Structure formats: structure tokens, C-alpha cells
Amino acid sequence: MIEISAHQSPINNQLAVTGSKSESNRLLLLNQLFENVLKLENVSNSEDSQLMQKALANQSDLIDIHHAGTAMRFLTAYYSIQNDRNITLTGSERMKQRPIKVLVDALNKLGAEISYQENEGFPPLQIKGKKITQDSITIPSNISSQYISALCLIGTKLENGLTINLDGKIISVPYIQMTIQLLNRAGIKANFEGNTISIPFTASIQSQTIQVESDWSSASYYYSLIALSKNSEIKISTYFEDSLQGDSALQTIYTDNFGVISTFENGILTLKNNPEFQFKESIELNLINTPDIAQTIAATCVGLKAKCHLTGLETLKIKETDRLVALKNELEKFGAIITITDDSLTIEGYQDFTETPTLETYNDHRMAMCMAPLAQLFTIRIKDEMVVEKSYPTFWEDWKQLGFTIKSI
């Protein structure tokens, strides 16, 4: 457990943030499918991406990806088309509680051979790699975008290509668009129009260098910190205004609701306060396209004692933990009065609190990091703080660099 105490003076620092986990994992799998012809720069040093690389290099018949959810989904699809492989894909106890039935059903409908070793619908999985010739599938569109992205990636290697028909209202659209745009950047003529995704069979791609942009969800903690600080400025790299990442919506969300100004120059993003900003009495946001920044936004609201109503949060229940319950439990320690439903979180007001908040992290990296900016206002304690390694291993070192006092207790 650590105790973090406030930085008393204005913040003025520059930090380099590791590459996007979402972009890195897609490109790592794509590179493996095309015999490593891509040179990837600024690949995420997150635990998830490291586990992905280890798994792709692992020639044994047992692959353990611990609690790397993206790797579980992407590798389920990848191994289903590896003709010569018969593997068991497993993970942590929490991973064994995270549903994967929709993806397994879709792959099996296409002709894959995947079965459950323990509980129906959940890892561990037995995957016998096969040649898949079927070329179309219809799946519900209100599911995790990672299932859809996994199918898009392997569709490039199905001899007849793959058409994915999405049935119903699509959630997390930007993550699907990111996958399609990364395929396009690599030279694959993938297309996403309306509710249909078309992935052509692609025999080979040109050798090229692709730079992975830094992770916008990691940037969210600095947006939050600036929103809770006066006369402060942080420069972070490597970020681009025309980002592929849906979480780059942070720019608009934090300008409109929290008065944080974003400017870009040569891959460096500068964040600073707008001194004339007038805060709203209540903040209303639909985060269906950006669920990974919901925790940060809720914590920012608590720091400002702002009321809020956040919707579009249905996927938060199937993440590393049930993030809606976790947020309610932990933010109430700061006096927030919170109600949650299956897809929303509402902060209705605040009451006084006196104890130093001691925060649980639920084996969820984002639960640790989204709370850190609150240390600008209150001394806080965070349990199991190294859970941040999942996506941002140098997080606490970077916060020491910003001037925060962090000590183990």
C-alpha cells in the first residue's frame, strides 16, 4: 500500500507516456499473421502487451495470459486458424469469470473447433487450429469491440476473406474504427460501413515502420490532474491531434466540462487550465464510445465536488472488475453520494468525510490510476498499487517526477 500526498506548488513538467496498449496489441497480432514484416516503434511496455508478445512466441500447448483480457480475445481468434496447433488458453481466476461465449460461438460458426475446459462460456479454452473457409458471420453488435476486432484481424488470413454483419446498435465504435484504420495503414483494404465490416483475404503486406501513438486513456489521468490543479501545465508525448484512438475524445470532454486546454506540436500534447472557465452545476455525458475514461471522469467530478450523470457504461461490468460497483465503493470514501444502474453512474451530491481514504484497486489498473489525481487535493492511500503494470508500468515513477510524495506504508 502507498500513501500519496499533494504537490503544493503549480505543476510544470514533461513526460513520455508508453505506447497505446490497444494499438500495440492489434499491431502485434497483425505482425504475427504477416510474418513480422512490420517494424513497430513505441510499442506499449504494459504487462498486457508483454504477455501478448510472450504468448505469440510460445510454442508450447499451454498458453497462460494471466489477466490480459485483450490477449485472451485476440489469441482465441488467432489460435483458431493455426492449422498445426492444438492448445489450451487459460488465465487468472478473474479471467475465468470474464465471458467469451459470443466470440467462441462466432468462431465455431465459422468452422473453428473451440471447447470449454471448465465452465460453459468462460476460459480456459481448448483450441484446435483449423483452416476456415466460411466467409461471413452475423454477431450481436452490443458486445465488446475486442470480439469484433479479433475477427477483423484474423479475417485477413481467411482464404475467402470475412464479412461481419453487426446486428443492432453498435457500442465502442471508435475501437472498431481503430482496427480498420490500422489494417488500412498496413495496406489491407478493410472497410466498415453501416453495420457491415468487410475484410479481404490478404496474402502479404509491404514491409514498413509504424509508430504506435501513446495511450490516450493514460493521458486521461493528466487531464484530470490539470482539472484539479491551478496555474499548471503538463506536456506529454507522443500524441497526435488526428488520433485513431476513440479516447482522444478527452480533448473535447475536458475542454467543455473541466476547462482543460489541449495544444499539439510535433507529437507533444500540452495541457493547461483555462483560467476563465465557468464550471457547470451538473455534468451529463454519454460515454458509450469511450468507456475506458469513465472512471477518470467520475473521479475528476468528485475532486471538483461536481454532480454528474454518466451513461453508456454497460461494458464496465465485464472488465477487470465490475467497475461501476468499484467506483461507487471507492468514491463514496470522498463523501460522494452515488447511485449506479447497469449502464450509468450518477453523483447526486456530497457530504463531509474525515478519514484518509484508503482505496481498494480490485486488481484493476484503472481503479488505481484514476484515483491518483485526487492526491492533489487530499492525502490518499492506495492498496495493491502495482496493478498499474497492466497498462502503465512507470506510472508511479512519473508521478514522483511531477513532485508527488509517494511512500510505502
Which grid coordinates belong to 127? 483450441
Q: Determine what percent of the chain is predicted with pLDDT higher than 70.
A: 99
Task: Calculate the alpha carbon distances from 277 to 183, 215, 227, 254, 259 in Å.
Answer: 40, 27, 11, 11, 5
Last-in-domain residue among 185, 211, 237:
211
Quote the pLDDT of residue 318: 64
For residues 76 and 62, membership in a common domain is answered with: yes
Name, in order, each residue with C-beta under 8 angstroms of 388's C-beta and a sequence gap of 6 or more: 365, 368, 369, 395, 396
| Boundaries of domain holding 146 | 21-211
The domain boundary, picked from 149, 180, 211, lies at 211
State whether 231 and 190 are in the same domain.
no
**Residue of 247, 292, 343, 398 marked catalytic:** 292
pLDDT score of 24: 96
Residues 184 and 235 in one domain: no
Do you find a cis peptide bond into 275, omega within 30 degrees of 0?
no
Of 254, 260, 257, whose CA–CA distance to 274 is shortest?
260
* pLDDT given at position 170: 87
CATH assignment of the domain containing 321: 3.65.10.10
- Averaged pLDDT for residues 228-247: 93
Chain segment 156-201, per-residue pLDDT in tens: 999 999 999 999 988 778 889 999 999 999 999 999 999 999 999 9
pLDDT at 262 over 80: yes
pLDDT tens digits for 87-144? Answer: 999 999 989 999 999 999 999 999 999 999 999 999 999 999 999 999 999 999 988 8
Residues 201 and 293 in one domain: no
Domain count, the chain: 2
Provide the grid cell at 168: 443492432
Give residue for cell 506548488. Answer: 9
Q: Are both 87 and 228 inside the same structural domain?
A: no
Q: Which residue has the cell 476513440?
A: 246
pLDDT score, position 270 = 98
Has residue 317 got a pLDDT over 70? Answer: yes
My answer on whether 15 and 28 are in the same domain is no
228 and 184 within one domain: no
**Across all residues in the chain, what is the average pLDDT?**
94
- 172 and 200 fall within a common domain: yes
Q: Are residues 7 and 31 in the same domain?
A: no
**Catalytic-residue membership of 292:** yes
The domain boundary residue, chosen from 190, 211, 232: 211
Dihedrals phi, psi of 323, to nearest 5 degrees: -65, -25
Mean pLDDT within 225-246: 94
Rounded Cα–Cα distance for residues 279 and 344 (Å): 22
Residue 199 and residue 254 in one domain: no
Confidence of residue 84 (pLDDT cuts 50, 70, 90): confident
Indicate if 95 and 52 belong to the same structural domain: yes
In this structure, the answer to whether residues 392 and 352 fall within a common structural domain is yes
Q: What pLDDT does residue 356 have?
A: 95
Q: pLDDT confidence of 319, banded at 50, 70, 90? A: low
Q: What is the DSSP string of 202-226?
A: -S----EEEEPPBPHHHHHHHHHHH
- Cis peptide preceding 356, ω within 30 of 0: no
